[in-house]
Structure 1
Amino acid sequence: MSEDTMRAMAYDEYGGTEVLRETRLPMPKVAPGEVLVKVRCAAVNPVDWKIMAGGLDGLMDVLFPVVPGWDVSGTVERLGIDVPEFAVGDEVMAYARKDHVHGGTFAEYVSVPARALARKPASLGWREAAGLPLAGLTAYQLLTRLDTGKDDTVLVHGAAGGVGSFGVQIARALGARVIGTASPRNHDRLRELGCEPVQYGDGLVDRVRALAPDGVSVVADFVGGVLDVTQAVLAADGRHASIADPNVLGAHGQWMWVRPIGSDLTELAKLADSGQLKVTVAETFPLADAAAAFALNQEGHTAGKIVIEL
């Protein structure tokens, strides 16, 4: 077994889980401003298998073979040139997206720009730390871009989902009142997070208006297809954004995609260590079973993150 190669899951063409295979690939190069992370855990996100299916081909350059995965927790193995803020052995986590799709986190090692890294919070294990970056940053960046604060009432569309459950907790930590849409089976869990749950579907506008007669001041859309509801419940001076519906741009809203910003991730780590942010892990798979992890994520019914553990 060569020291110049590593175990990885990869694919050479677009497709379903059948194109994903275990292989050996060259160790990643570590450019200036990057670090080499020895992967302990990597989390699965829907974007991973959507990329594998070709869903982002018109948006990002893809260099085959592709190692999927953008979420990671692990230790710093080696430093690139000019990375004084980290040291070998540091425990870190990252949303490790780069400008092109190629070397991801479903591998023994991954190179990560230092700007995307944060130190792993002491309160989270490796699995939980891997499950936080992409989904947590998505919620945090949307809510902070909307200047969410203690005077706000926030409606979270998809409050029980992976991003939405972080959104509920982060909005609460920012001091806001939170109303969240979810199916009834998830209402008790949302109440535990400090959310006032409402069932989605017919009558949703009336149910939200019953809780917030003057309208809500912030709407965080993590599901898409709900712009009509957003407009019906938003106060006259309210703000809204979506990660799933570009049509919000024509309705004075913001359309967002998460950015890999280590300083934002550090803020999430602080929330975790202060007990204001919990990460739930639903299932854990070994690296060789990444296809099964993808298949479970595609079903969309797990109440928590799906994690690959090395």
Structure 2
Amino acid sequence: MRAIIVEKPGGPGALEIAEVGAPDPGPGQVRIRVAAAAVNPVDAATRSGALADAGLMPPIGSRGPIGIGWDVAGTVEAVGPDAARFAPGDAVIGLRDRLDVPLGAYADAIVLDASAVARAPRSASAAEAATLPLNGLTASQALDLLDLPSGSTLLVTGAAGAVGGFAVELAVQRGLRVVAAAAASDEALVRGLGAEWFVPRGVHLGDAVRALVPGGADGALDAALLSVAALDAVRSGGAFTAVAGGPAVPVPLRGIAVHNVWIKADGARLEELSALVDAGRLTLRVAGTFPLAEAVKAHERLEAGGLRGRLVLTAR
């Protein structure tokens, strides 16, 4: 079968197509025939060696080629012992949350722990469904860390992005009042997702938010990695969660509880998100599709920026 691998870090051209044997599911695992795999910034950071440089994984090539891709949508084709919740033929989505593995979601098939897999939304295409696991779970788990009670105000930066868009919708469903920060051209989009207030890019974020919410927002979900600029918009004693590590996580000034969401696979939560899609309460956005063999072109488009939604690699 085909798989996209990286042997040496570099630009999009570092992605290679390799012929590998189909993996067998072990205890508690399922093998999924991949119909679609989302293309995420973390894939580019893995390919380039940035994650290895940050100490999040061994250097690429030190233990052989690594696979690329976290999000998958497809069909179960084999089930290992103790994975009876799924059967061959089930349409599923799943998340591969390990970095240093020889096969990722950019492949014809992938083996995942059954606990990382959920039934796919019935109302979505495979390409649409593949955009949900990583970004939907990141938004949901970030909101868990913030732990804001209903009626609280929440700033979401990067609100038009993949994580930010899910965060706006999920926050509103938790009873939060959302201040969305995004490009001016995205105002209609984020208001359509449920944001009550809007702050355009290019203004002083702290002052703009405080003009809308006196004293500052109760919390911030910083999907745009604005760090201290977003922290400044939070009231003293509030909460802040960044969706990346390093300098994106600011010092907890003014008694603000600062967190960093490190994504983990969660099939049960993913099942809930899938149900929200079918209920029309969660929006899936595909920015474009490429066949698996054109993964290099997909990464080139990702690095060009300006996307709304996720690019997706498809089986054909």
| TM-score (normalizing by structure 1) | 0.93
CA–CA distance in structure 2, aligned partners of residues 43 and 120 of structure 1? 14
Question: Which amino acid is 2:204 matched to?
Answer: G
CA–CA distance in structure 1, aligned partners of residues 230 and 8 of structure 2? 39
- Which of 44, 55, 59 is matched with 2:56 structurally? 59
Equivalent residue, structure 1, for 2:216: 215
Q: CA deviation at 1:235?
A: 2.3
Equivalent residue, structure 2, for 1:268: 273
Q: CA deviation at 1:99?
A: 6.0
Q: CA deviation at 1:249?
A: 6.3
Equivalent residue, structure 2, for 1:48: 43
SS in 1 for 2:122: coil
Question: Which amino acid is 1:83 matched to?
Answer: A
Equivalent residue, structure 2, for 1:117: 117
Question: Which amino acid is 1:277 matched to?
Answer: L
The answer to whether the Cα contact below 8 Å between 1:225 and 1:245 also exists between their aligned partners in 2 is no
Q: How does 1:89-108 map to 2 (within 5 A)?
A: 89-98=89-98, 100-108=100-108
Cα displacement string for residues 128-162 of structure 1 (whole angstroms, at most 9, x for unaligned residues): 11011101111110002222342211100111112
Q: CA deviation at 1:176?
A: 1.0
Runs of at least 5 residues in structure 1 that lack an aligned partner in the other structure = 1-5
Cα displacement string for residues 251-294 of structure 1 (whole angstroms, at most 9, x for unaligned residues): 03011211111111112112212211011101000011111111
Cα displacement string for residues 199-245 of structure 1 (whole angstroms, at most 9, x for unaligned residues): 13332222211211132112101122332442x32223321111235
- Which of 23, 27, 33 is matched with 2:28 structurally? 33
| TM-score (normalizing by structure 2) | 0.91
The answer to whether the Cα contact below 8 Å between 2:97 and 2:263 also exists between their aligned partners in 1 is no
The answer to whether the Cα contact below 8 Å between 2:5 and 2:103 also exists between their aligned partners in 1 is no
Relative to 1, partners in 2 of residues 1:305 and 1:83: Cα closer, same or farther, differing over 3 Å? same
The answer to whether the Cα contact below 8 Å between 1:148 and 1:171 also exists between their aligned partners in 2 is no
SS in 1 for 2:25: coil
SS in 2 for 1:202: coil
Equivalent residue, structure 1, for 2:226: 225
Q: Does 1:159 align with 2:162?
A: no
Question: Which amino acid is 1:40 matched to?
Answer: A
- Which of 22, 36, 39 is matched with 2:17 structurally? 22
Question: Which amino acid is 1:273 matched to?
Answer: D
Runs of at least 5 residues in structure 2 that lack an aligned partner in the other structure = none
Q: How does 1:142-153 map to 2 (within 5 A)?
A: 142-153=142-153
Equivalent residue, structure 2, for 1:277: 282
Q: CA deviation at 1:246?
A: 4.1
Relative to 1, partners in 2 of residues 1:309 and 1:249: Cα closer, same or farther, differing over 3 Å? same
Question: Which amino acid is 1:77 matched to?
Answer: E
- Percent same amino acid among aligned pairs? 38
Equivalent residue, structure 1, for 2:8: 13
CA–CA distance in structure 2, aligned partners of residues 29 and 55 of structure 1? 30
Corresponding residue pairs, total? 304
Question: Which amino acid is 1:137 matched to?
Answer: L
